[in-house]
């Protein structure tokens, strides 16, 4: 079992920045791929960014490319999401997810590929 806890959400003006963190506990997180999704009421959870267990296989949704950066620190069991140039359409609850194992035979952007999820952190971008 892996427990994930997100932090760093909040209210920011358009053009501003936030850094989300996902702290993992329970097992050695270095063997887990990490992912960020986001969700707004009434819509499905949307893929944001993926990072492989070793820090490679980084992938972003087109909507955040060039603005968001995903990273991980396996020594600290954390996955982070640096969000710059925020837009009102980035407003959502952001969820951290994880998938165990070192293979990459799954679809990064599919929420069903991930076994563990945090409780989410709200990000609100005002115009």
pLDDT for position 127: 94
Average pLDDT, the chain: 95
All residues at 6 or more sequence positions from 25 whose CB lies less than 8 Å from its CB, including other chains: 2, 3, 5, 77
Among candidate residues 106, 90, 93, 109, the one with its CA nearest the CA of residue 47: 109
Among candidate residues 3, 8, 29, the one with its CA nearest the CA of residue 18: 8
**pLDDT, tens digit, 9 for 90 and up, residues 4-44:** 999 999 999 999 999 999 999 977 788 899 999 999 999 99
Question: For the residues 93-101, what does the mean pLDDT come to?
Answer: 95
Q: Extract the tokens encoding 47.
A: 């893929």
């Amino acid at each position: 079992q892996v427990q994930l806890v997100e932090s760093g959400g909040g209210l920011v003006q358009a053009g501003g920045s936030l850094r989300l963190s996902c702290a993992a506990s329970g097992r050695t997180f270095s063997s887990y791929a990490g992912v960020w999704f986001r969700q707004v009421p009434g819509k499905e959870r949307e893929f944001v960014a993926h990072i492989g267990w070793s820090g490679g296989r980084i992938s972003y949704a087109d909507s955040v490319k060039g603005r968001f950066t995903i990273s991980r620190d396996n020594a600290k069991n954390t996955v982070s999401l640096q969000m710059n140039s925020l837009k009102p359409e980035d407003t959502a609850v952001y969820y951290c997810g994880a998938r165990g194992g070192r293979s990459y035979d799954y679809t990064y952007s599919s929420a069903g590929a991930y076994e563990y999820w945090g409780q989410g952190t709200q990000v609100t971008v005002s115009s």
